[in-house]
Every structure is written in structure tokens, then in C-alpha cells.
Amino acid sequence: MRESFKLLKLGSKSALWAAIVNTVVALIKTAAYLITGNVAMFAEMMHSFGDAANQLFVFIGSALSKKAPTDRFPAGFGRLVNLVLLGAVLVVGVLAYETIVEGIHHISNATHSDDWFWLNIGVLGAAAALEATVLYKAMQEITEHLPREKVKGLKIIPESYKHVRDAKPATKLVFLEDNVAVGGAVLALLAIIISTYTPFHSATGYASIIIGILLLLVVGRVFLDNAAGALGVADVKMQAKIGSKVFAHPQVNDIQDLDVIKEGDSLHVELTLEVDPKMTIEQADDIKDDIEKKIKESVANVTDVVIEFDEDDGINTWDKIKNVKE
């Protein structure tokens, strides 16, 4: 039990915060929907429940993925977060489908009603504000490695979108879902205003369908990213960065092979280096320790570095490998 609590402390903070906030928002929207029966509110309610469940799974998965390797699982649990996310997107997919179906049903049975207008507006406005705080938290996690002056004030917004591809899986999911959450709340607000003050009474139905489609797009993006992560995807940028650093070592003549595999939030590095064949085992071991230390100091989340040595064949292999990997 003590180990479980320690692991939970290592889980994604943005996912935990998002799960708490979205649970509160979902309960508020549920109360509003039961009072008003508004279909746009129904779409937002389903969306928030989906986000809350998803992000709770993500938090638990990101924490368990930090568990140390065991005899039964010597490679560790890094890919567990990807597997959890693959399961989580199924929940969002089902809720997206229900949201679209409810929107279609409302379009065919649209009626005018200005009852509970200000209640709907107030709930959705508060929801948008709360979900915006979660989105900002995810932006902070995405850009935490950048210089402070680059993310000062509103600069954090474009920088977070620019670097979201490099974010941790859990943070990326929270970021994508809360983009839809904030956008969906604003869209639902506009739809309620339009359906109340214009003859276009089916606006909330169309808003529900659009929100459902946006959720499906998130499902597709997250599924593709985490299916690759579960299989063990190569991190090409890190391969180039680590290769350049290793190749600069004075006793490394060439890099015969280099793989950087992303497993959840962690990186697994495998290297085959060409060195002087006259080198002693002690010298090779010193080089290995030195390279491993430099890699772990310069690159975050590297869990292990596997280095093999081969004699120098006099052929420059690294330039060819680098061009292929790039």
C-alpha cells in the first residue's frame, strides 16, 4: 500500500487536476441538464464525464508506469501508460457516439424554449473558465523545458501548440481533451443564444453533433499516438541529438547503430559503437560509463542505456544511418 501511494505521487499532475475539475464540472452540468433538458448541455455533460473518467485512468496509468522493473517484467512498466490510454479512448468514443445521436434526434424534434436561459449560460460560462485552468496547467507542463522568457504571459499559448508533439502521453491527452472542452463549452453557449433569439432552434442539436465529432478526432489522434507508443516507437529527434553527442566523444570512432525507443514517458537507448580494437576491457568500460552518464545528464527520462562495442572497420557508418533516420 505504501508503494502504491509513492507511485501515485509520481503520476501526471495535470491529469489528476483535470480529473478533479471535470468531475465537478460534470456534476454541475448534470444538474443543469436535469433541470433544463437542453441538448447542448447534455452534450457537454457527456463530454465532461468522459474527460473525468479518462483523465483519472491516465493519472493512475502514468503513476503505475513509474514502477521499477521486476523479475517478471524486467523491461519495466513504461508502456503501461500507453495501454491505459488506449482503453481510455474507448470511453470517449462511446460518449462521442451518444452525443452525436442525441444531436441528430434534437434536430428532427427541435422546439423553441427560452426557459432556464441564464442558468444554461451561467453553467457553461463557469465550465469554460474551470476547464481553461486545466488547459493552462497542461500548457505549463508542455513548455516546462523551455526558457522562462519564451513562455512568459500569453507567449505560453503558441509555444504549447508548437511543442505538443513532444509532450508526455498523459499531458498530451489532457491538452487535446481540454482544447475540445473549452471550445465545446463556447460552442454550446453560442448555440443556446442562437436557438433562443433566432428561428434556428435546432442550433443546439448541431452544436451537439460538432462536439461529438471533435471528441472522435481526439480519440483518433490519441489512439494512433498510443498504439505506436505501446509497440515502442522510435524517437527520431532524440536519436539525432544523442548520436551527435556520442559521436563527439574522442574515443568513439563511429556509431554502427543507434536506437532510441520511447516507452510511455521513458526513453530506452541502444548503441553499437566502433572503437580502437587495441583498447582494453577496462578502457571500454570507462568509455561506456562516461557516455551513459552524459546521455542521462543531457536527456530527460532516459531509463537505461545499452552500449555494445565493435572494432573500427574504417567505414563512416554514422553519417549514412543519420540520413536514413532523419
Residue 326 has pLDDT above 60, yes or no: no
- Average of pLDDT values for 5-25? 79
For the chain, which domains are there?
Answer: 2-231 (1.20.1510.10), 236-325 (3.30.70.1350)
- The pTM of the whole model exceeds 0.75: no
Residue 214 has pLDDT above 70, yes or no: yes
Evaluate whether 64 touches 211 at the Cβ level (below 8 Å): no
**What pLDDT is attached to residue 192?**
85
Assign 3-state DSSP to the chain and report helix, strand, coil percentages, each to 5.
Answer: 70, 10, 20
Residue 323 has pLDDT above 60, yes or no: no
Question: How many angstroms separate the first and last alpha carbons of the chain?
Answer: 45
- 235's torsion region: left (phi>0), alpha (psi -120 to 50) or beta? beta
Q: How far is CA 290 from the centre of its chain?
A: 33
Q: Strand (E) positions, the chain?
A: 233-234, 254-263, 266-275, 302-311
Average pLDDT, the chain: 82
- Provide, rounded to the nearest whole percent, the portion of the chain with pLDDT above 70: 92
Q: Which candidate, 54, 51, 28, places its Cα nearest to that of 41?
A: 28
Evaluate whether 110 touches 75 at the Cβ level (below 8 Å): no
Residue 241 has pLDDT above 70, yes or no: yes
- How many Cβ atoms from other residues are within 10 Å of residue 110's Cβ? 17
**What pLDDT is attached to residue 237?**
78
Would you state the cell numbers that stand for residue 175, as one nine-digit string?
Answer: 491538452
User: Which whole-number Å values give the CA distances from 169 to 80, 81, 299, 305, 325, in the listed order?
Assistant: 11, 8, 17, 22, 23
**Model pLDDT for residues 244-292, shown as the tens digit of each residue:** 888 888 888 888 888 888 776 678 888 899 988 888 888 889 999 999 9
What angle (nearest 5°) sits at the alpha carbon of residue 47, between those of residues 87 and 130?
115
- Average of pLDDT values for 127-152? 87
- Average of pLDDT values for 214-239? 78
- Average of pLDDT values for 4-14? 71
For residue 116, give the 3-state DSSP assignment: coil
Residue 1 has pLDDT above 70, yes or no: no
**Model pLDDT for residues 282-319, shown as the tens digit of each residue:** 888 999 999 998 888 888 778 788 899 988 888 888 87
**Model pLDDT for residues 63-72, shown as the tens digit of each residue:** 877 777 777 7
Furthest-apart CA pair in the chain: how many Å? 87
**Model pLDDT for residues 61-111, shown as the tens digit of each residue:** 778 777 777 777 766 677 777 787 787 778 778 878 888 888 888 787 766
Q: How far is CA 54 from the centre of its chain?
A: 12
User: Which whole-number Å values give the CA distances from 64 to 23, 25, 54, 76, 269, in the listed order?
Assistant: 22, 27, 15, 10, 21
**What pLDDT is attached to residue 61?**
79
